[in-house]
Amino acid sequence: MDSKGKKAYRTKLFADVYAGIIPERIPIWDCLTMEYLVQYAGKDLITTQYSYTTELFIEIYEKAMEICRGDMPAGGFANNPISLMFQQSEIMKMGKTGFLQHPEQTFMHEDEYDEFIAAPYDFIQEKLLPRMNKGYQQGEVKRALNFAKSILASYEFNLAYAAAEATIVERYGLFKRPDGSVANQIVPFDFIADYFRGFSKIPLDIRRRPEKLLAAMEALMPYAIWLGRPKVKSPLGCNMIFTHMGAFLNNKDFEKFYWPTFQKVIHIAAENGQATQIFLEGDWTRFLDYLQDLPQGTQLWAEYGDPQKFKDKLGKKMVLGGFYPMTLLGRGTKEECVDKAKELLDILAPGGNFIFILDKWALNLSDIKPENYIAVLEYLAENGKYTNAGEKVTTAKREDSIKKYSHLYPEFKSKYIVSFDEFKKEYPPVDERVEPLMRSAYEKYSSMVTRLI
C-alpha cells in the first residue's frame, strides 16, 4: 500500500471510531514526545530546542520512524524555549537536563478574587501576565517589544513544525486531525489552580473562601467557551483537556468545585459540534458515575484506573484509551510488555470504542526500550483487527446525550478584544472593496495574539 492508501486507511480507522462505528482494527497512537525523539536522534536536548528548523524537525522525525508504528505522527507538540525566553516566563522554566517544567508558584493573591471575578480576561492581561512573565514587568514599551519578539518566535517556530509534520504525514501515510480543528479547552478549576493560585493555595481557597472560588470559575466560563471554539469544525477534530486537580480532590470537593464547570464546558463543546478528548490524570475510577454523564463520543485517555470498570460502565458511550503503563516498556521483558498489551486488548477492544495509547508519553530515552515498544505496537497492529468492522457501537443517538448549557452564559467580551466592526470606526477602509480583505487580516492576526494568556 502506498502512502496515500495508508493515509486513507488510517484516517478511516479514526473516522470510524469517532463516529461510533467499529473500525477495521484499533487505531494506535505513538506516545513519544519531541523530547524523546530528539534524544533518540542522538542530539543534545538543550541546544536542539533552541535550533529547530523545518529541516531539523524532519531529520528527527525520520530517525524516529525506525521505532514508530502508530497511525498518527509522534511528537505531539514541541516546546518553544525561544518564545519563553522573550517572555522571561515564570510559568515554564527549563531545567539543566533540558526539560521545561511548570514550577509551583502563586501569582494571584487571595484578596484579588473580586477583581478577577469582575473581568477575568482583563485582570489576567493587566495583573497576572506581568507577574507570570518578567519580560512584561519593565514598562509598556519593553512589554510590547518582548511580546512582539515572543509572537514572532512562536510564529516562525509553528510554521517550521507544521511543515515538518505535514511532510512526515504525507511521506508515511499517517492520520492527522484537520488543521484548525483542535482547540485547547480550559477547565475553570484547573485553570485557576495551575496558573494563578497554585497547588498549595487552592486547598486553602476551598476551605476559607469557597464562594469566591465558585464565583471565579463561573466568571471564567464565557472565556472558556470562547477558547473552545476551533477555527474548523470537524468530526475528526476535538477540544483537548488535560486534567490536573480532579483526582487530588475528595469526592465532596470534586462534586462541588470541579465537576460543575468541567462537565459544562464539555457539553457546550458538544452543543457546538465538537467532541472532547480528555486526559484523566491520576485515577478517576471513583468518578465513573460522573463520567457517564458526559456526551456520547467523548474521548477518555486514562492514566490509571481499573480498565474493566471503565469498559463496563463507559464502553458503549465513550472512546477509551490509556491504562497501559509506560514504565513497563522501560523495565519489563518483551514478553511481559506484549502480555500486558494482550490483557488490555482483551478488555477494551471488544465492541469498539477503543484507541490504543499509553498511560503517559515517553520523555526520557530511558523511559522505554525500543525493542519493547516496537513489539507491543506490532502485536496490536496484527491482533487488533475486528471481524465485525462497520457495525455501530450503539444505537443511542449522540444528540440525545448532550445537555444544553450555552444559553446560561453571555458572549465573552473584554475591552481588549475588539471586533473588526468596532476597529473600523477608528480606522475606516479607504475603499469598500478592501473591507473584506482588511477584515480577514484583522481577524487572522488578532486571533494569533488574543488567545494567549
Q: Is the Cα dihedral 40, 43, 48, 49 positive or negative?
A: positive
Residue 437 lies in a domain: yes
**Position 453 confidence tier, pLDDT thresholds 50, 70, 90:** low
**In-domain check, residue 94:** no
- pLDDT tier, 452 (very low <50, low <70, confident <90, very high otherwise): low
Partners of residue 100 on adjacent β-strands: 94
393 lies in a domain?
no
Give the model's confidence band at 76: pLDDT under 50 very low, under 70 low, under 90 confident, else very high. confident
Cell of 177: 486531525
Residue 166 lies in a domain: no
Between CA 166 and CA 420 the distance in angstroms is: 32
Domain hosting 424: range is 419-453
Would residue 301 count as lying in a domain? no
Give a yes or no: residue 452 inside a domain: yes
3-class DSSP assignment, residue 219: helix
In a domain, 441, yes or no: yes
Which cell goes with 171?
A: 511521506
Closest CA to 26 of 382, 398, 395: 382
User: DSSP label at 133?
Assistant: B
Beta strands across the sheet bearing 276-283: 182-184, 238-242, 276-283, 299-304, 319-322
Any idea which residue has 475528595 for its cell?
A: 250
The count of structural domains within the chain is 1
* 451 has a pLDDT exceeding 70: no
Give pLDDT tens digits for 7-27: 999 999 999 999 999 999 999
pLDDT (tens digit per residue) in 272-315: 999 999 999 999 999 999 999 999 999 999 999 999 999 999 99
pLDDT tens, residue by residue, 62-71: 999 999 999 9
Q: 405 lies in a domain? A: no
Gap between the Cα atoms of 123 and 419, Å rounded: 20
Q: How far, CA to CA in Å, does 344 sit from each of 69, 308, 323, 362? A: 18, 9, 8, 19
Q: What is the pTM (predicted TM-score) of this model?
A: 0.94
